[in-house]
Each structure stands twice: as structure tokens, then as C-alpha cells.
Structure 1
């Protein structure tokens, strides 16, 4: 069991690090491949593919077993990694990142499901989930630093090649040590449902991610994509109602206790995306930090998330998972309340304290959500249920980024445009670009105001998470 768990931690680390390791390699990648205007899609292609793959692989694992599907997922991830390292153009890299994202999207729900099955007691499961959360937290800090080291010492291509030996090692451990019993029954795959869901959600997520940057919400292209998403998702629901083995059983949405957990996931992760995107903007534009210093301001979030994820596992048995989640959401509310009060004159301390409290809160919340899913989901649909939660996790980040981006632009764009200075970079360079002292002060105040409104919206999400925490189930489905 220990060797299998090590394999799961290892493959989780690969998927987690790959989401952030490219950040420090972007300058080298664009210098080598050109295509600066396509930079955002290096991240977005990975995000899109991960979101879709999570829910589909969760269902396939219920049909064909965890072992087979996680090996397929790791294989896809490694093939995508090698292709990324061999990419000769930005377009190729984006396509290969999508392939890599499919593999990464399969890894998350399957590792969570397998940990739930490896450990028999709730306390042991909580500790296992805590270690997985720790891996994600550490990866958020280590990824960019490790990526920078590889780029400086070797070449950006190796940030992708480095995955291969570790991925193969995890596959070896799973093949040799993971034993799984699967009932031999005839399976019917819902190909139509998978295809309709993929097209519909890719269209919806694409327009959300793209418009979070362009704000062209009602352009002809956006309206067309809305229509495609609505059409395919409507037909998808009709198909799922008749399918023998639906890729997403609609009965999941009748399980209100499961929907409470998904609502909590959506709300909490929306807060996290607000922190990770807008603290660096505030740090550089208002506080005058450089990119490295701004990135380090996110360190308390990752480190304290990791610490409290372990603490959460040790609290099981002393407190219910519901109470632990409630404690986490209260910390989330206090942290976002502090950030919602940011001014141009606030300084670094308020940012550090606010992000630290949010990190502590998320460390308590996320492992307990996995425990809660295992309590309320039908065991035969556990993989699908966790896949749906993983999809909700990713979808909330796309939605949160779009909402916060729209709100930030509404608050700042008109005021910034009134200076008639053209496009203003949010890295703080305006302080050295011919602006007067008064104009710099005006820009700092305006940007700080925009960031504060973003965190006011995040406070609403934190409040919603706090309310939902009171409806988390304390008993398993079998006990209810």
C-alpha cells in the first residue's frame, strides 16, 4: 500500500508542477518559438483539456477500473510531455499542452479515488488527502523555481522531458503493487454523451477563458460559441437521460449533499484564483515589487495550505469533517475581508495576513471535501462523483478569472483611459515610463481600487462557502 501511495504522490506532483513550471520558462519559449500573442493559450489549453478529461476519466474508471485508467492517463501525460519538449512552433506547443492536459485531468480524480480506497478508516483517508493537498501546495512554490533553474542551466525543453523518468517510475509501482478487483460485466461506453459534453464544454470554457482577457463578451464569435455550447449541452442532457451507462449520470445532480460539496468547491476555488491572479498585480503595480518579489507574496498561501492540510487529517476523530470545513470557511471570510479593504497605502502586511488566512482555510477545507464526497456518493459512482468535483474545481477557476477580470476592467479601464497615455502595463513599469508623480499616484489608487473590488466579489464567494458549510453531511449515505 505504501508503495502505491508513493506512486500516487509522485504522479500528483508531476501534474501539479506542470501547471506552474512553465511560468518561468515563458520568456525563453517565446524567444525560441515566437508567438507572444499566443502565450495565454499555453496555460488555457492545459486548463481546458484537464477540465474535460477529469469528468470523463472519472466515469471510465468506474466502468473499467482505476488501475487501467490511471495507467492510460499517465501514458497520455508522458506522451504529451515529450511532444511539448519537441515542439517547434507555438501552435504545436499549444496542441501538445492540450494532450498533456488530458493526461493531467485524468490523474487528479483517479488519485483522489484511489487514496479513498487504499485507506480504510476516515482518519487515514483524511491524512492521505492531506498529503495530496501538501503535494499541490509545495508544487505551487517549487514549480516556478525549479522551472527557472532548468531554463537557466539547460534549456526550456527539459521542463517537459523531466517528467518522463518519474512518470515511468510511478507506472512501475502501480503495475507491480496495486491490486484491484473488477467484476467482469459487459460495459457499454457512452461515446455520444462524451462527444457532446466535450464539444459543449470546450465551447463554453473557450469563450469564458478568452473573454476573461479580451472582454469581448458580446462579439459575433462569442455569441456563436454560446449558441454552440447551449445546443450541444442541451442535446447532451437528452442523450444522458436515455443512455444505459451515461458518462455523467444525471442522478448525481439529485444528490443534494454531493451538490453542496461541489458548491463549496466552486466557491472556495473561485476565491483562490482571485488571490493568485490579483496579488501579483497589486504587488507590482501598487507596491512597486518586481515579478519575483510579487510571486513570493503568494508563498504563504501555498505553504500554510500545505501545513493545515496535514493538520486537518490529525483533527479527524476529534472534530467532524463538517466542523473542520466550517473553521476553514471562517478563515476564508476573514482573509478575503482583509484583502477587500486594500488601498494604495495599505502596504505588504495586509496582503501577507489575508493570503495566509486564506491558505490556512483552504488547507482545512479541501481534504475534508474529498472525505465528504466519499461519505455521500454511491460507491459504484465514486470515480464519476470525484471526476465531477474535479471538473467543478477547474471550471470555477475559469469562471472566477472571467468574473474578476470583467469586474477589474469595469473599475479601472475608463479611469486609466482618461490619462490618454495608451495601454498601461500592470507590472508597475508606468512609474518609469514618462508619467508624472501625480499620474503614477492616480494609477496606483485606481488599480488598488480595482483589486479591492475583485476581493469584495471574492468575499461574496467566501460567504457563500461559509453558508454551504453548514449543510455538509456528517453521516455517510449508508448511515443516513
Structure 2
């Protein structure tokens, strides 16, 4: 197999695993660094940086060459990984995760472009893309398990350090074996739009997460941050309307059928981040699992996602895309409903079934959304339309992490503080923290209640996906 392609698979695996490997380490990270209320930022910072960087790096690759930009991106990713492993406070970790996310943002768009270049025929390209998709699926299974094992056997710091040797190997293979004919492509990069969007969005996420802890929704500081978010996002819209190559093409929002697909993506991927973040916390804090066992509870979602993605391919032609997506949304609602019933008395089985149904639903939904985009998008804007959906996918997880973090803090922070024992950790080792049996029971009930409310919110998102599925177009633009 082409050595460059091996490097692309390797670096794709790094970016894919990094999205899930952290989940099983979160309880241990908060035990060391404190800052339970900042958990959602560990995900939001990484995902938001990835979403914005992906658009910018894709255009930089056209200007300065794919080889140069992907190597720079991998280096940024590795620097961020090392800094994450060395973090001494939660605030440092959040900043370093953003740096890591910037590097990860270079990987997806450039690897997709390079695969298209490495394989000459459409059949070979499809095969190459399937390998990349397989890497994402396998990483979803391996990430939580590896993260849990490393945390239990060594330390959470090493979930970041292990990226270094593999990243260096991919840089070596690309630098030595990849040659490109650089064609000068005149592209204008919307740096101003990226900066405005980042500031506005971060301000909005900050006020949501911070106020979920303080409840000071109408304080002077909060009002000021609201104003900052509104002003910067309003200016962002004006800039995008005039930009030659906007970071988010607002003209696409005129395509109502495309917006239905993006709205469904937004809701569905918010559910996924809810499962990824809070199932390991439930497993360790309520069920008393170690990090490795917590990782096992996440694997059904990834496995069944992959299985039903394959099944969806076999159903094409027998059922309409719309019907397959509707089947997926029904599975999402069933899974979210089961997870919303979690309590301190729930068993492993309840979690396995709930996460499995979520995976089965997403397996039906996501491949069909890509096909649906090809039907409803203007052929001249197909690449941009797919790019916007990819951005929506990642951005949804960033906002979803913040939203669910707000719910968790609202439900649990006051109750935990009432014990008067400082910040409570989520690694489940309450007995070692000087808590009585009654206090341990109270903590488990409180954490389980907070997570149950998260999945009630996830159920509402699932209902929205079901409603949106009825508006998925069954005919292409050319048939309308």
C-alpha cells in the first residue's frame, strides 16, 4: 500500500481517536486538575477550533501546497498534545486542547484532497475514502478503550503523549514519499470572518457555561458578554455577506431543503456528544467502574454505527433515503428515552442498550444525509454545501457539549456544594474522600439525576430529528 496513504490513515486515526479517548479520562483529569464545571470546555474548545481551522487549512493548502500545510497541521497537533499532557490546571488544558484542535482541523480536509489525488480512478478513490471512514469507525471503538486502559495502568497524561511517536512517523512518511505539483490557486481566506465568529461564539459558550454554575444570568458581567456575542456575530454576518470566499456562505441558507439536512445534523450530533461525554462519567461515578470498563460502555455505539452504515448501503434502492433516515431517528428517540431513565439504581445493561440504539440510529442517518445533500445542493455549490454540513457536524458537538454541561451544572452544583466538602470529583472514589455511606449514596443519586436530565434534553433533540426527517427531500433539484 502507498506509504503516503498509510501516513494519511495514521494521522486520521490520531485526530479521530482524540475525539473519544479523552472521554474515559475526564473523571481522572478533574480529580487531578479540579474544575468539574469546566468539563464541557475540554470538548468545546477542541471541536470549535477544529471546525474553524478545517475551513481555513483547506484554503491554505490551495495557496501553499498540501504537503506543507498538513505537516504544519500535524506539528501544531503534536505541540498541542504535549502541552495537554503537561497541563497543571483545567484552564491550561482547555487552551492547549484548542491548540490541538487547530492542528486536527488541518487533517480532515487535506487528507480527503490528498486521497483524491493519490488514487486516479473513481473506484480507487471510493476504496480510499472507505478506508478513511473505517478508521473513524474503528477509532470510535478503540479510543475509549485505549483511554481507559492508559488511565488505569499509567496516567491520564499519556493519552496525549502517545500521539507524538505516531505523529512524527506520519510526518516522516509524508515528507519523504509525497510529492505534489503545486499549482498556484488564487484564494482569498476569510480571516476576519473566522476571528469574528470565534470571538462571538466563544463569548456565547462562556456565558452559558459560567452562568450554569453561578446562576448570575442577568449580572452586569453576563450582560456585557451577551452584548459582545451579539455584536461580533452581527458584524460577522455583515462581513460574510460581502466576503468573496466567506467562511460560512450565507447564500446556502436560502436553500431550505439543505437547511433541513443541516438542522437534522445539528440535533443528531448534539446527542452523540452527550453520549460520548456523560456515559463514562455515569459509569465511573454511579456504577463504580474503572476507566477501562467505562470505555467498554461506549463501544456499542461505535460498533452499531458502523454496522448500520453498511446496512444503510444495502437498503439504498429498496427504500428511499427519507425512509431510512426516519428509521434512524426512531432508533435515536428510543435510545435517548432509555438513557433518560438512568438512575443510581440502573444496570450496565440499560446503558448498553441505550447507546447501542443511538449507534444504530446514527448509522442509518449519517450516510443518507450525505447522499441527500448531493440531491438538494446546487451542483456548482456541492463542495461548499458538504463543507457547511461538516462544519455543522463539528460545531453542533461544540455547542452540545456546552449546553449539556450547563444542564449538568444546574442540576448538580448546588446539591454537591450542600455537603460542604469542597469540589466533588467524578471518578467515583467517594469513599476515599471521607464521605459516609449516606453521602456516597446522595452523590450517586445527584450525579445520576444530572445525567438523566441531560438525556431528557437529548430526547428532545431526537424528537426534533424525527420531525425534520419528514421534510427531507426525496427528489433531486433536477427533478423538481
Greater mean deviation of Cα atoms: 296-305 or 49-58: 49-58
Instruction: Report the alpha carbon displacement of residue 479 of structure 1 after superposing the two structures with TM.
Output: 4.0
What is residue 72 of structure 2 aligned with on the other side?
A: 75
What is residue 85 of structure 1 aligned with on the other side?
A: 82
What is residue 299 of structure 1 aligned with on the other side?
A: 299
Residues of 1 paired with 2:419 and 2:153: CA distance?
42
**Residues 343, 317 of structure 1: alpha-carbon distance in 2 compared, 3 angstrom cutoff:** same
Matches of residues 461-480 of structure 1 in structure 2 within 5 Å? Answer: 461-480=461-480
Greater mean deviation of Cα atoms: 148-157 or 97-106: 148-157
Instruction: Report the alpha carbon displacement of residue 469 of structure 1 after superposing the two structures with TM.
Output: 1.7
What is residue 352 of structure 2 aligned with on the other side?
A: 352
SS of 1:236 mapped into structure 2 = helix
Which of 131, 141, 144 is residue 138 of structure 1 equivalent to?
Answer: 141
**Residues 414, 46 of structure 1: alpha-carbon distance in 2 compared, 3 angstrom cutoff:** closer
Structure 1-normalised TM-score?
0.80
The answer on whether the counterparts of 1:42 and 1:97 sit within 8 Å (CA) in structure 2 is yes
SS of 1:343 mapped into structure 2 = coil
SS of 1:346 mapped into structure 2 = coil
Residues of 1 paired with 2:23 and 2:325: CA distance?
32
**Residues 386, 218 of structure 1: alpha-carbon distance in 2 compared, 3 angstrom cutoff:** farther
What is residue 10 of structure 2 aligned with on the other side?
A: 10
The answer on whether the counterparts of 1:204 and 1:226 sit within 8 Å (CA) in structure 2 is yes
The answer on whether the counterparts of 1:332 and 1:362 sit within 8 Å (CA) in structure 2 is yes
**Residues 440, 57 of structure 1: alpha-carbon distance in 2 compared, 3 angstrom cutoff:** same
What is residue 376 of structure 1 aligned with on the other side?
A: 376
For the pair 1:338 / 2:338, whether they are aligned, the reply is yes
Residues of 2 paired with 1:149 and 1:93: CA distance?
20
Instruction: Report the alpha carbon displacement of residue 43 of structure 1 after superposing the two structures with TM.
Output: 4.9
The answer on whether the counterparts of 1:262 and 1:392 sit within 8 Å (CA) in structure 2 is yes
Which of 163, 166, 175 is residue 163 of structure 1 equivalent to?
Answer: 166
Instruction: Report the alpha carbon displacement of residue 288 of structure 1 after superposing the two structures with TM.
Output: 2.7
What is residue 203 of structure 2 aligned with on the other side?
A: 203
Instruction: Report the alpha carbon displacement of residue 335 of structure 1 after superposing the two structures with TM.
Output: 0.7
**Residues 154, 389 of structure 1: alpha-carbon distance in 2 compared, 3 angstrom cutoff:** closer
CA-based RMSD of the aligned residues comes to 4.2
Greater mean deviation of Cα atoms: 259-268 or 320-329: 320-329
CA offsets 1:252-283 (integer angstroms, 9 cap, x no match): 11112221121111111111122222223332
Residues of 2 paired with 1:211 and 1:70: CA distance?
44
How many residues in Structure 1 have an aligned counterpart in Structure 2? 472
The answer on whether the counterparts of 1:332 and 1:357 sit within 8 Å (CA) in structure 2 is yes
Instruction: Report the alpha carbon displacement of residue 401 of structure 1 after superposing the two structures with TM.
Output: 2.5
**Residues 371, 179 of structure 1: alpha-carbon distance in 2 compared, 3 angstrom cutoff:** farther
The answer on whether the counterparts of 1:329 and 1:469 sit within 8 Å (CA) in structure 2 is yes
Instruction: Report the alpha carbon displacement of residue 134 of structure 1 after superposing the two structures with TM.
Output: 1.7
**Residues 477, 115 of structure 1: alpha-carbon distance in 2 compared, 3 angstrom cutoff:** farther
Residues of 2 paired with 1:142 and 1:48: CA distance?
25
Greater mean deviation of Cα atoms: 409-418 or 280-289: 409-418
Greater mean deviation of Cα atoms: 90-99 or 243-252: 90-99
What is residue 102 of structure 2 aligned with on the other side?
A: 102
Instruction: Report the alpha carbon displacement of residue 436 of structure 1 after superposing the two structures with TM.
Output: 4.5
SS of 1:429 mapped into structure 2 = coil
CA offsets 1:195-253 (integer angstroms, 9 cap, x no match): 33333334334444555676665555444333222212211211222233333221111
The answer on whether the counterparts of 1:22 and 1:147 sit within 8 Å (CA) in structure 2 is no
Instruction: Report the alpha carbon displacement of residue 35 of structure 1 after superposing the two structures with TM.
Output: 6.2
SS of 1:247 mapped into structure 2 = coil
The answer on whether the counterparts of 1:77 and 1:102 sit within 8 Å (CA) in structure 2 is no
Instruction: Report the alpha carbon displacement of residue 336 of structure 1 after superposing the two structures with TM.
Output: 0.9
What is residue 49 of structure 1 aligned with on the other side?
A: 49
What is residue 234 of structure 2 aligned with on the other side?
A: 234
Residues of 2 paired with 1:255 and 1:341: CA distance?
38
SS of 1:297 mapped into structure 2 = helix
Instruction: Report the alpha carbon displacement of residue 135 of structure 1 after superposing the two structures with TM.
Output: 4.2
Instruction: Report the alpha carbon displacement of residue 453 of structure 1 after superposing the two structures with TM.
Output: 2.0
Residues of 1 paired with 2:366 and 2:301: CA distance?
14
SS of 1:428 mapped into structure 2 = coil
For the pair 1:408 / 2:411, whether they are aligned, the reply is no
**Residues 8, 319 of structure 1: alpha-carbon distance in 2 compared, 3 angstrom cutoff:** farther
Residues of 1 paired with 2:478 and 2:176: CA distance?
33
**Residues 438, 28 of structure 1: alpha-carbon distance in 2 compared, 3 angstrom cutoff:** closer
CA offsets 1:448-468 (integer angstroms, 9 cap, x no match): 333222211111101111111
Structure 2, unaligned runs of 5 or more: none
**Residues 191, 295 of structure 1: alpha-carbon distance in 2 compared, 3 angstrom cutoff:** closer
SS of 2:318 mapped into structure 1 = coil
CA offsets 1:420-447 (integer angstroms, 9 cap, x no match): 5554433333345554544444443333
Residues of 1 paired with 2:368 and 2:132: CA distance?
8
Structure 1, unaligned runs of 5 or more: none
